Chain A
Amino acid sequence: MEPGEIHALLGENGAGKSTLMNVLYGLYQPDEGEILVDGKPLKLKGPSDAIGAGIGMVHQHFMLVPVFTVTENIMLGAEQIRGGIAGFLDRRRARREVTEVSERYNLRVDPDAVIEDLPVGIQQRVEIVKALTRDVDLLILDEPTAVLTPQETEELLTVMRSLKAAGKSIVFITHKLGEVKAIADRITVIRRGKTVGTASPEASRDELAALMVGRNVRLTVDKTPATPGEPVLEVAGLVVDDDRQIRAVDGVDLTVRAGEVLGVAGVQGNGQTELIEAIMGLRPALAGTISLAGDRINGWKPKKVLRAGVGYVPEDRSVDGLIKEFTVAENLVLDIYDRPPFGAGLALKPDAIAASAKERIEQFDVRTSSAEAAVGTLSGGNQQKVIVARELSRPLKLFIAAQPTRGVDVGSIEFIHSQVIRERDIGTAVLVVSSELDEVIGLADRIAVMYRGRIIGIVGPDTPREEIGLLMAGISPDAAHDAIAAPAADKPGATTADSPGVADGSPASDAGSASEDEA
């Protein structure tokens, strides 16, 4: 790393990027090898050593205490103290320092705001200010854009540039190609814990993607135009609260027809989770109606919804989709274990379960040592394939997939996408929710954008990504159209909607590079 350099660390999920950086930040201990700072080897026993050596880190999951104020979070661990041994906090001095740093780097934060009341983008800013108050020279940003809207991402890239101008070095960990190309000075690609190459930002997306995954991957989803039929799922005026009794879905109307994929795009936490859970009967609908092929299914138990012909891939497979300690075969019949041929009366039929498991493992290309292996021992992609296999093995009217490829390797993504399209082509209505815009664009025949509990617009898959990005940030369709009309005009060829990158989930990348061009 050079001073004043932005170094991108690019790699697939699970390639070892975060682990490497956690070692650098002293959270994990290296088994072998050493870290050199200014030519001298550095021994890090813990994060405080790293901070002492001028290394700061913004973690993927923010390291902020939700009930503390911004100032309290920033001063923690390096408290300004008065009153000697009693150690009274000098909040006034701490506050002043926060204000000073945030003004110097143009990172506006309210020092007295409580973290849990702040939007994610601002929380990230607090994290950066926290690192900067500790006088770091090297700032590690671990997947900083995963939770941001395209516009927030753009702001972050601006912040990174101004930090670079101030002489700070930045390590930028990501798997999103667009952002890397927009900002990095140097790119190191990591695969399976090894450096597989370095590249300059001029390298094309395809080259970078190939380096990341080790083979050429298709960045598009093959599909024919949809032939929509009758409406299968109709949602009208749906209102749902989240766990904290705060309104999460606020009057949603949706229709999904047989033989089409409706994609729901949006930054995570805008009510997508609650919408799906309400449809599945996992969460009460406070108002509105949900009907499935004409039957009103409000208030049905999840089991009844499933039996009515709904397939469901939940967004967090480790919590909802699988029982990790159970075998692959058992997980494959979790939905129908009590029905023939798998169950009769009180007894299970192990032979039938094993036979069907064998068949489906083959059909869905699940890589497992055996059908009797615990599902928890499989890789993320193969776990997801088990869920998809289970859900698609029943005759379905409606298939709901929430974040179907989160934490899944590129090979499995391709396979899962092709299965989703296959299901559409046999006439099932499909509802896909994903925070990866490219996935939605690639799969969907129509895209509904969700923002603060509402569907803010429904657009076709050919819509420019900038426009969808603005919708995701809550700018209504007309305004969005006006807002991008100007910049879109003077950058021809920047639209990537016709070739969405699977491994590139960065909707703002083009907007980011555009603004750089203008500057």
Chain B
Amino acid sequence: MSTMAVPDIAVAPVDEGFWTRSRKVGLTLLALGLLSAVLFGALATDQQARFTLSDDAAGTALEINGTIGAILFGIITIAAGAALLAGVPKRWFLPVLGVGLVAFVLSFLCWQVSAAPTGQNFMPLVNIIRGTFILALPLIFGALAGVLCERSGVVNVAIEGQLLMGAFSGALFGSISGSVWVGLVAAAIGGAFISLLLAVFAIRYLVDQVVMGIVLNLLAVGVTGFLYERLMQTDAAKYNSAPRFSNWEIPLLKDIPVLGPALFRGNIFLYLGLLLVLVIHIGLFRTRWGLRTRSVGEHPIAADTLGVKVLRVRYRNVLLAGVVAGIGGASYTLALYSFTKNMIGGKGFIALAALIFGRWNPTGALLAALFFGFADQLATYLGAINSVIPSQFLAMLPYLATILAVAGLVGRVRAPAADGKPYIKG
């Protein structure tokens, strides 16, 4: 087509000035590094900080002198910060940031472990990793439920309720039938029931989705609490003693050092959760279902004009989210504990935070959930070695990080464009 060329005469590069995001993060990292090298280095003792690789304290371990370790890792953090400050190519930003943060955590651990009471100068890595995953598991399921729902444009604040209903019906029907599998199916249906209510009110009756989610959480607490008191407590042996999935050891993988005992001798929920992350990730970005789901969450009118049934896609995804969260709830009652009132205790909301921190991506949500799980596990560990750091302070950190992430410090967080907006045809 012959048109005259339009010269780009006024393309002014957007000048961010010297203080780009990368530089700001670099400066923060540099400050953290200085803090760790000086403060942690000074506080650390000459004890060896041992990170044990096997189940017992005496086995093989990575060792480093506490003071040296704290200072060394602090310097690595400083180096990472300085690199960012000096300016690195964009694709190096995340790896360098990762190295810096991990080094900071290690510096902190060198101080803590070396300063622990004599005889406790070790950190059992296997336990820490295993604990991290166990604590992260409900968050993983919950965040995946969020991904499924919100990618199609329905805000899922009801994750808490879905988890709780799953845990409850898993326990109840597992106990009655005496079968873990019946319990698992019942848990999925329980979660889907809460989802169904969310879907009908949000999609059909256009009720505000956030308000609806909160109401459903309260409903789930109320219903399960009532039935727990009237049914389960009166005859716990009959109604609240569900069989549990035993641990499955995966051949070969279980023999990998550290990771084997930490991850591959777990229960079905751990494997299922990790598998679901993979399946949903591939599903979202590689299949027709995923393309349609994302289009409905971003621009439902466009999807409609191409013959995609917007409401049907949303119903389906919200229900699937309930199934996933319901199974997540069962990871409590069919593997770890018997049902107690309000046993999810806010994990559904933390899963929501993981969803946002993970930028509505299944893998991102997994990493965010693990981060939260690790912080939780670390708090427990530090409590056990009588650390000077109050464990509540540590328990607070992940949420502080989430607030910073949502505020845009770690890059732009962008929700699906039509998230929370009901679709009205015509």
Contacts and interface: CB of A to CB of B under 8 A. Distances in A.
A41 B301 CA distance: 27
B10 A452 contact: yes
Contacts of B89: none
Interface stretch (B24-32, B51-59, B190-198, B303-311): B303-311
A76 B310 CA distance: 12
B291 A72 contact: yes
A66 B12 contact: no
A48 B308 CA distance: 8
B251 interface: no
Contacts of A88: 286-288
A308 interface: no
Contacts of B294: 65, 68
Contact of B302 (A65, A251, A452, A483): A65
B10 A454 contact: yes
Interface string A245-268: 011001100000000000000000
A250 B291 contact: no
A302 to B, nearest CB: 26
B6 A77 contact: no
Contact of A47 (B6, B10, B305): B305
Interface of chain B: mostly helix, strand, loop or mixed? loop
Contact of B305 (A25, A159, A474): A25
Chain B interface size, under 10 / 10 to 19 / 20 to 34 / 35 or more: 20 to 34
B298 interface: yes
Contacts of A68: 294-295, 298
Contacts of A113: none
A246 B4 CA distance: 28
A59 B305 contact: yes
A76 B14 contact: no
A306 interface: no
Contact of B306 (A66, A67, A78, A154): A78
Given A27-B305, A151-B6, A453-B10, A89 B288 contact: yes
A516 to B, nearest CB: 13
B289 interface: yes
B3 interface: yes
A155 B5 CA distance: 12
A158 B3 CA distance: 10
Nearest to A79: B288
Contacts of A57: 305
Contacts of A78: 306-307
B371 to A, nearest CB: 25
Given A66-B417, A68-B294, A106-B1, A475 B7 contact: yes
A410 B1 CA distance: 36
Interface string B266-310: 000000000000000000001111011011001101111111100
Interface string B9-31: 11110110000000000000000
Given A63-B302, A474-B7, A76 B12 contact: no
B426 interface: yes
22 contacts: A27-B305, A47-B306, A63-B306, A64-B299, A66-B298, A68-B295, A75-B291, A76-B303, A76-B308, A77-B292, A77-B307, A78-B306, A88-B287, A89-B286, A155-B1, A159-B1, A246-B14, A452-B10, A452-B11, A453-B10, A453-B12, A479-B7
Interface of B: 1, 3-4, 6-12, 14-15, 286-289, 291-292, 294-295, 298-299, 301-308, 417, 426
